[in-house]
Amino acid sequence: MTRRLQPDRRTLDPAAFSRALASGLARLRVKAAGPTTGPGFWALLAAALGLAAFGGLAARALWAARAGRVERREEWRRLSLSKEPDDGGPGDAALALALGRTWARRPGLIGALSTVDHKVIGLRLVLIAFSFLLLGGCAALVMRLQLAGPSQNIVGADFYNQLFTMHGTTMMFLFAVPVMEAAAVLLVPLVVGARAIAFPRLVAFAQWMLVAGGVLLWGGFALNLGADVGWFSYVPLASLNYSPTKRADLWAQTVTFTELSALAISVSTIVTIFKQRAPGMSLDRVPLFAWAQLVTSFMTVFAMPGVMLASTYLILDRLVGTQFFNPAAGGDALLWQHLFWWFGHPEVYIIFVPATGFVSAIVPVFARRPMFGHTAIVLSLVSIAILAFGLWVHHMFATGLPRLGESFFTASSMAIAIPSGIQIFCWIATIWLGRPVFRTPFLFVLGFIILFVMGGLTGVMVASVPLDLQVHDTYFVVAHFHYVLIGGAVFPLLAAVYYWFPKVTGRMLSERIGRWHFWTAFIGFNVAFFPMHLLGLQGMTRRIYTYPAELGWGPLNLLSSCGAFLFAGSFALMAWNVVVSLRSGEQAGPNPWDADGLEWATSSPPPPYNFLWPPVVQGREPLWASAGRPPAVTGHRTDMREVLITSIADAVPETREPSPDESIWPFVAAVVTTILLTGSIFTPWAVVWGAPPVAVALIAWFWPKGDKEDEQ
């Protein structure tokens, strides 16, 4: 049996081809014994295989049928026309067949729980995150109902406090960060031209931890144990004395789950970008989207331990009586704030920086020219990440820290305006020098630039200590962060949805509904959140469930609530667009936007192994340079999953490492970890009796299962 199929695309080796076919047939028979697929399918398959012996065309058809997708038009075209010497031919067919088998996803429930395909997991993460957006958004709408008029009694104080805590926690920990991670999982391997993500089982584990965190938080809410101490859960309010129920514990453990998940994905992202880039993709050719995800992952690595530590301290204080936050025993309330904001500030850039990555991917494609200032943008991203760790105190100006120290944090916070400005200027320059094509992703990018600058400018205002002392903890800050979070991150996210939807599903989203979506979102958003600036200046503090009429906040609040519903309606338009387009959207083909990135060099949706021919990169815009067909990597084994490891700086191939197969153990490990962590809310002994099952699951996860590499 062959180990290494070396289908050189120019000179096909007939012997290798027939060997590949033989091995393929042998394996198919083994599979056919399985109960999941009917004999009809296998008869068809056998017939098709017979045809394949006569030529590549039939084999191609077979592959398309096997994958259940006929819309791989591009492959069809290549196959039937076979214009270029390195295109099509029976070599491709055999390769697709062999790879398809090796990288096949296992069917059924166990298969779904075991999958390590980054595209499947990434798409799931996107859907999970959007579900949490829906939940958090509904909580916001109820809040907006309550606040629409003075002294209303739609919800009570207790419920309102749960609502804003659930809203903030959900949006930050279960929507915004995960959705950006989802984009990394889904797209980074494609963007760097890899066949798989690094540590795919870790990513599978991460997906389940996120689900566990969300279920814990919202399950608690359903049982009237919804967290109610705000998304940053200040002590001593969150300590046992003032929050005697389990609500604060559920919050803390939710945070632990989501952070575990984020850290796992960051490690995978970093290593994928460092070590699995396509040959030739030297650092100066790494796409800005990947840079943004790389920088974000680094921020995650250094930021998340802060909140893990803080929430651990909180749980210990509440559960076993440690005294970290008890001033009477030498503890301190501000220790919490320092640890939390050490994480919390980078957190907001962890949300924002990937969004800038979307923008930098989209702008050049629609401006029809390479990005202006590529290197400047990379440097901006890196400096944002470094500065991000030097300004957490700007959330604590009102706590009465030494004045000179505070001024330092004013300066460092405002300094972020420089790298942010560089990015804005470079995008505008790219658009200015280009010939922009107005499609929906581009509209959302334009909206983003306007809204983010607005939010950034209010950010600069609140970075000024005296100004912040007036507007801190008011709706002015609420306006600031919704402008940067929604304008600065959700708008690019929506642009990204329109931009990459064809890649993921094979179909275009409707342009007509897209325009409606954009305009309702843009108008609804501004109507909802612009008045909040004014309310904050007029003294409306945040986190209040009611306010008296004589303060005159009623009309603006009513306006804001109307805008919120309009904005929510825009999401309904998007959902409608998704549903309609999935069924009857225009076929996308591999590269509908004529984009420059490697993810467009494969079919839409990509096969499980991402690239039939992993691409080789010769410039910053590989597809523009090579008219859509970059040179390829040959010589991978086809009978086991392999990824190409390349050097960090120049992306010179180093090794071909095996990539892990599907495994149920990450799921099992996630289940037992969930039981352990949830149990530890109630008794510290849960850690003791929970440890052995976790250890067993981890050992099973990492234990090699007679892989082919061991048969040598």
Partner 1 sequence: MSPRGGATATAVCAVALALTGCSGIQSSTDPHGPVAGAIYGLFIVFMIVAAIVQGGVTIALLLGALRRRRLDARSVLELDPASERRATLVVSALVGLTAATIAGLTLLSFFVGRTDARLAGSQELVVRVTAHQWWWEFTFEDPAPDRQLTTANELHIPVGRPVRLKLLSPDVIHSFWVPALSGKKDLIPGRLNEILVQADKAGVFRGQCAEYCGLQHANMALKIVAEPPAQFDRWFAAQLTPAAEPRGAQATRGREVFLSSGCALCHRIRGTSAAAVFGPDLTHLASRSMLAAGAAPMTPGGLGGWIADPQTVKPGSKMPRVPLSGPELVALVAYLEELK
Partner 2 sequence: MTPAGNVDVSKLPDWAHGPKSVTWWGTLAFCAIEGTGFALAAGGYLFLGFLNQSWPISSPPPDLIWGALTTVTLLASLIPNAWLNRAAHAEDLRRVRLGMVIMSLAGVIALVLRVFEFGALNVKWNQDAYGSTVWVLLGLHATHLVTDLGDTLVLAALMFTRHGHGRRFSDVTDNCFYWNFVVAAWLPLYALIYWAPRLGA
Least CB distance to partner 2 at residue 342 (A): 7
Among positions 67, 123, 417, 537, the unique one binding ligand HEA when judged by CB under 6 A: 417
Binding mask 220-259 for ligand HEA (x = CB under 6 A): ----------xx----------------------------
Among positions 76, 425, 516, 576, the unique one binding partner 1 when judged by CB under 8 A: 425
Least CB distance to partner 1 at residue 520 (A): 13
Among positions 97, 99, 171, 248, the unique one binding ligand HEA when judged by CB under 6 A: 171
**Taking CB under 8 A as the rule, does residue 373 contact partner 1?**
yes
Residue 320: which of partner 2, ligand HEA, Cu ion, none does it interact with, CB under 5 to 8 A by kind?
Answer: partner 2
Least CB distance to partner 1 at residue 541 (A): 5
**Taking CB under 8 A as the rule, does residue 533 contact partner 1?**
yes
User: Which residues, numbered 442-501, are part of the site for partner 1 (CB under 8 A)?
Assistant: 442, 446-447, 449-450, 453-454, 457-458, 460-461, 464-474
User: Which residues, numbered 505-564, are part of the site for ligand HEA (CB under 6 A)?
Assistant: 528, 542-543, 564
**Taking CB under 6 A as the rule, does residue 137 contact ligand HEA?**
yes
Q: Are 518 and 560 in contact (CB under 8 A)?
A: no
| For ligand HEA, the closer CB: 276 or 520 | 520
**Among residues 680, 711, 682, 597, which one has the least CA distance to residue 278?**
597
Residue 642: which of partner 2, ligand HEA, partner 1, none does it interact with, CB under 5 to 8 A by kind?
Answer: partner 2
| For partner 2, the closer CB: 217 or 255 | 255
**Taking CB under 8 A as the rule, does residue 512 contact partner 1?**
no
Among positions 411, 691, 695, 699, the unique one binding partner 1 when judged by CB under 8 A: 411
Residue number closest to ligand HEA, CB atom: 137
Element (H, E) at 656: strand 653-658
| For Cu ion, the closer CB: 65 or 415 | 415
Give one word for 423, left, alpha or beta, with left for phi > 0 and alpha for psi -120 to 50: alpha
- Spell out the alpha helix ranges (H) of 659-709: 665-679, 685-702
Least CB distance to partner 1 at residue 400 (A): 4
Give the HSE-up count for residue 492: Cα atoms under 13 Å, Cβ half-sphere: 27
Burial class (CB in 10 A: 0-12, 13-18, 19+), 415: middle
Least CB distance to partner 2 at residue 11 (A): 12
Question: Residues 483, 486, 492, 498: is their CA dihedral positive or negative?
Answer: negative
| For ligand HEA, the closer CB: 183 or 416 | 416
Least CB distance to Cu ion at residue 169 (A): 17
Binding mask 238-277 for partner 1 (x = CB under 8 A): ----x-----------------------------------
Least CB distance to partner 1 at residue 236 (A): 5
Q: 333-367 and 440-463 are packed helices; what angle lies between their axes, rounded to 10 degrees?
A: 150
Element (H, E) at 649: none
Among positions 44, 240, 271, 415, the unique one binding partner 1 when judged by CB under 8 A: 415
Among positions 149, 390, 552, 658, the unique one binding partner 1 when judged by CB under 8 A: 552
| For ligand HEA, the closer CB: 261 or 577 | 577
| For partner 1, the closer CB: 370 or 653 | 370
| Token pair listed for 78 | 């290549």
> Three-class SS string for 538-556?
CCCECCCCCCCHHHCCHHH
Least CB distance to ligand HEA at residue 604 (A): 21
User: Which residues, numbered 575-604, are part of the site for ligand HEA (CB under 6 A)?
Assistant: 575
| Token pair listed for 508 | 């275009």
Q: Which residues form the interface with Cu ion (CB under 5 A)?
A: 345
Least CB distance to partner 1 at residue 600 (A): 13
Question: ω into residue 236 within 30 of 0, thus cis?
Answer: yes
> Which residue stretch of 57-65, 130-138, 292-300, 374-382 sits at the interface with ligand HEA (rule: CB under 6 A)?
130-138
Least CB distance to ligand HEA at residue 334 (A): 15
In sequence order, the β-bridge partners of residue 615 are: 632
Q: Kindly determine how many residues on this chain lie close enough to bind partner 1 according to the rule CB under 8 A.
A: 94
The one-letter code for the residue type at 103 is W
| For Cu ion, the closer CB: 452 or 593 | 452
Phi, psi of 645 (to 5 degrees): -100, 125
| Token pair listed for 151 | 């002294």
**Among residues 5, 1, 92, which one has the least CA distance to residue 635?**
5
Distance, CA of 148 to CA of 144 (rounded, Å)? 6
Phi, psi of 637 (to 5 degrees): -65, 145
Q: Which long-range contacts (CB under 8 A, 24 or more apart) does 414-417 make?
A: 414/460, 414/463, 414/464, 415/387, 416/384, 416/387, 416/388, 416/391, 416/459, 417/456, 417/460
Distance, CA of 333 to CA of 328 (rounded, Å)? 11
Burial class (CB in 10 A: 0-12, 13-18, 19+), 475: buried
Among positions 111, 150, 236, 658, the unique one binding partner 1 when judged by CB under 8 A: 236
Burial class (CB in 10 A: 0-12, 13-18, 19+), 136: buried
**Taking CB under 8 A as the rule, does residue 142 contact partner 1?**
no
**Among residues 206, 165, 133, 114, which one has the least CA distance to residue 670?**
206
> Which residue stretch of 134-142, 193-201, 663-671, 680-688 sits at the interface with ligand HEA (rule: CB under 6 A)?
134-142
User: Which residues, numbered 443-482, are part of the site for ligand HEA (CB under 6 A)?
Assistant: 453, 456-457, 459-460, 462-463, 468, 472, 477-478, 480-482
Q: What is the DSSP string of 579-618?
A: HHHHHHPPB--S-TT---SGGGGS-SSPPTTS-SS-B---
Distance, CA of 412 to CA of 409 (rounded, Å)? 5
| Token pair listed for 63 | 């592959």
Among positions 167, 247, 620, 641, the unique one binding ligand HEA when judged by CB under 6 A: 167
Least CB distance to partner 2 at residue 656 (A): 5
Residue 171: which of Cu ion, partner 1, ligand HEA, none does it interact with, CB under 5 to 8 A by kind?
Answer: ligand HEA
**Among residues 261, 257, 254, 255, which one has the least CA distance to residue 206?**
261
Question: ω into residue 693 within 30 of 0, thus cis?
Answer: no
Distance, CA of 626 to CA of 486 (rounded, Å)? 37
Q: List residues near ligand HEA by CB under 6 A.
A: 130-131, 133-134, 137, 140-141, 143-144, 164-165, 167-168, 171-172, 175-176, 230-231, 348, 351-352, 394-395, 413-414, 416-417, 420-421, 424, 453, 456-457, 459-460, 462-463, 468, 472, 477-478, 480-482, 484-486, 488-490, 528, 542-543, 564, 567-568, 571, 575
